[in-house]
Amino acid sequence: MIAPKKYGYFLSIITLCIWLTSCTPKGKPTLALSTENTMALDNDDIEDSVRIKAAHIVPSKNQFEALKDEFIAFVHFGPNTFTRMEWGNGMEDPAIFNLKNLNTDQWCQAMKDAGMKKVIITAKHHDGFVLWQSRYTKHGVMSSPYKNGEGDVVKELAASCKKYGIKLGVYLSPADLYQIENSAGLYGNLSKYTKRTIPRKVEGRPFENKTTFEFEVDDYNEYFLNQLFELLTEYGPIDEVWFDGAHPKRKGNQQYKYRDWKKLITALAPNAVVFGKEGTRWCGNEAGATRDTEWNVVPYDEDPRTMNLFADITDEDVGSMKKLVAGKFLHYQPAETNTSIREGWFYRDDTDQKVRTTDDVFDIYERSVGGNSIFLLNIPPNREGEFSDQDVQVLKETGQRIKETYGVSLLDGADGPKELLEKDNKTHLILQDAEPIVEVTLPKATKINRFLVQEHVEVYGERVSEHALDAWINDEWKEVASATNIGYKRILRFPEIETTKLRLRILASRYTPVLQHISAHYFKSRPPQLQFSRNSKGEVSIVPKMSDFGWNPNGENAGANLNKGMQIFYTTDGQVPNSSSSLFTDPFVFGEGEVKAVAIMNGEKGSTATFRFGIPKMSWTLVESSSAQKKHEGELLFDENPNTYWQSQENDGNKSVVIDLGEELEISAFAYTPPTSISKSMIEKGTIFSSLDGKVWTQQDSFTFGNLINDPTQRTFRFNKKFQARYIKLQANEIAGNGLKAAIAELDFY
């Protein structure tokens, strides 16, 4: 007799088998049931049935087109460009938008050079200022000096997009600080919900599109719908409508009637995907960070087709089976990996506002587009109405790398499944064997370090959950790369190999794998610049130099990612390193002295990097500091971490620190590393005192460091003569920029 619990389990399995058999569409053995964009889970669904359902969730037509766009642009432009603010307050005088020139052709040319296929313009940011000639407000470009109030940024961009073959999207912020702060503002004004006609007629400004809608809405939702109507009918076609969840300020319990907005979008812009709702979703960060596994089939507790509010999905695990079985609906929803090419969303300047390197942007491209997501890169125009030269150069170089690396497949002419080697995105290969394998033989030995694989998600959904790539090397198969899911596109990156055969193995899948395309590529790696660091244990690490980009760091080392297979050699005796020098594999303990290192890749040698380390700090202790800010205590000035720092109180007239070096040493120089996250606490002038016993002090020298705010790099000062000391006191006498606090990221002595 079967136990009750086991009986229930066997019954579920039998039910699943009957269900699969009855639901299998004729002529398509790879489909166990009809595919859907959204599918409900039943209370009696077990993990196996959820897995089958997940394998039959497919993108909508608009979602699939968004996936194919792959690399797209964001343009943040408005009053913040001129005030140098990230978020305005809504009460800026429109005259602050003092635009003299606008070159949207230059924007589109730069985007085209980068390989971007779509641009999204901030038609209205949170401040409520509009960049088009709206009928429903005067808070916008119509009240600015640009073209005497006759200018229309969205219109000019739309014309340039048509000229350069780039799709257009609009970002219309649901938040509106002007409508909140303005005494006659509509946001949260507690108006009643009544039946209203969209668009509302305006004398002298008729619409060419005569479509009208009836909605039960309040004043602000009517205002929002009217503006949506303008953007979707007079500047199109519109291929994306971008919403976010930002709420800089709330008023009157204002609610957004998104389902009404959606009806308008569906009718007027049928090809538009909606970001931030059920169309596409935020990746969960603004740094360009990506998940190792990005499933686009995600669970919901409610039916996303009827939801009004969508919470951000920020967990590391988005679509694993553990997540799916806990949901009530399964829905296809691609992620957009969004970040900015500059530190911040809006342009500030070309001096202090750092720009991402080409390495960084290309690395994010390969991780995002090659990780089953869409790459949305913001490029903020400057106050001259153009993309700055540095941004344009990075975009051009990124586009060149994409074209050089992925423009041609090294599998052209190879012997293998034609369905996968052809460029026709409608062909596919069903892998029904017990051990699904795809093997290709190249015409000749070829150097490869990238492999691209795509599932046929448009028709069959996402299925592969684990796969590996082998190469035929020295007369045997050798695994060169592995990863989890594939989805729309997966790019495998690995050290350069030379081979005549490749083998793709599907190790696990949710249902019968169906691949759409494979290709092999070669990225010309460049031995990167190197950087050194030493931790609190005295252990030295040598890695490719990180991009000096402090805004929302993603934690990825682009140089290391792009240059897999690189080797680093180093010396500590002053000799120039080469391939016969010590190979860096793990951090090594090193005291005071000079380390030199070089990166070598595929026989090519990079430039030699040199760094001089000061006296080890393991035995240092803080005797006292004149004062300290919370979370910026004195011990942080010698923790070997330049991202942390000591900072004095503002009312500290002394501004000094005293350190015990742990033993009596001969001192000849010191180095000051200023914190880079603050600009008005850098020590411009100061004095160094020494002591053998911590009681009797001798003034050794005074120092001056210039141009710290513009160049906040480590500065070294050599004393007039060497001296013996166990205790060191640094006193700040003058702070850069007339600052009132002193700060030290790191102190080093030599």
Q: Quick: pLDDT tens for 58-100.
A: 999 999 999 999 999 999 999 999 999 888 999 999 999 999 9
**Which range (117-126, 151-160, 359-368, 521-530) has the least confidence?**
521-530
3-state SS class at 314: coil
Distance between CA atoms of 452 and 365, rounded to whole angstroms? 13
pTM: 0.86
Reply yes or no on whether the pLDDT at 21 is more than 60: no
User: CA-based angle 511:66:106, to the nearest 5?
Assistant: 150
Q: Are 727 and 692 in contact (CB under 8 A)?
A: yes
The pLDDT of residue 738 is above 60: yes
> pLDDT tier at 334 (50, 70, 90 boundaries)?
very high
**Can you tell me the mean pLDDT for 299-325?**
96
User: Residue 29: its pLDDT value, please?
Assistant: 65
Query: What single DSSP character describes residue 25?
Result: P
Supply the pLDDT for residue 26.
42
pLDDT of 1 reads 35
Model confidence at 512: pLDDT above 80? yes
pLDDT in tens, 472-496: 999 999 999 999 999 999 999 999 9
pLDDT tens sequence across 417-441: 999 998 887 899 999 988 999 999 9
pLDDT tens for each residue of 157-178: 999 999 999 999 999 999 999 9
Residue 146 has pLDDT above 60, yes or no: yes
When pLDDT is averaged across residues 397-422 and rounded to a whole number, the result is 96
pLDDT over threshold 70, residue 4: no
What value does the mean pLDDT of the chain take? 93
Q: Is the four-CA dihedral 720, 721, 722, 723 of positive or negative sign?
A: negative
Rounded CA separation 681/645 (Å): 11
604-605 and 593-601 beta bridge pairing: antiparallel
Give the model's pLDDT for residue 59.
Answer: 98
Q: What is the mean pLDDT of residues 721-744?
A: 96
Q: Please say if the pLDDT value at position 733 is more than 80.
A: yes
Element spanning 109, H or E: helix 104-114
Q: What is the pLDDT of residues 251-298, one digit of tens each?
A: 989 999 999 999 999 999 999 999 999 999 999 999 999 999 999 999
535-579 pLDDT, tens digit each = 999 999 999 988 778 788 788 999 889 998 999 999 999 999 999
Picking from 336, 424, 329, 430, the residue whose alpha carbon sits closest to that of residue 374 is: 336
Using pLDDT thresholds of 50, 70 and 90, give the confidence band for residue 315.
very high
Res 28: pLDDT: 53
Mean pLDDT across 358-381: 97
- Give the whole-number percent of the chain exceeding pLDDT 90: 86
pLDDT band at 56 (very low <50, low <70, confident <90, very high): very high
Residue from 649, 613, 669 nearest 743 by CA: 649
In whole angstroms, give the CA distance from residue 221 to residue 210.
Answer: 20
Region of residue 317 (left: phi > 0; alpha: psi -120 to 50; beta: else): beta
- The burial of 122, by beta-carbon neighbours within 10 Å (0-12 exposed, 13-18 middle, 19 or more buried), is given as buried
Looking at the chain, the whole-number percentage of residues with pLDDT higher than 70 is: 96
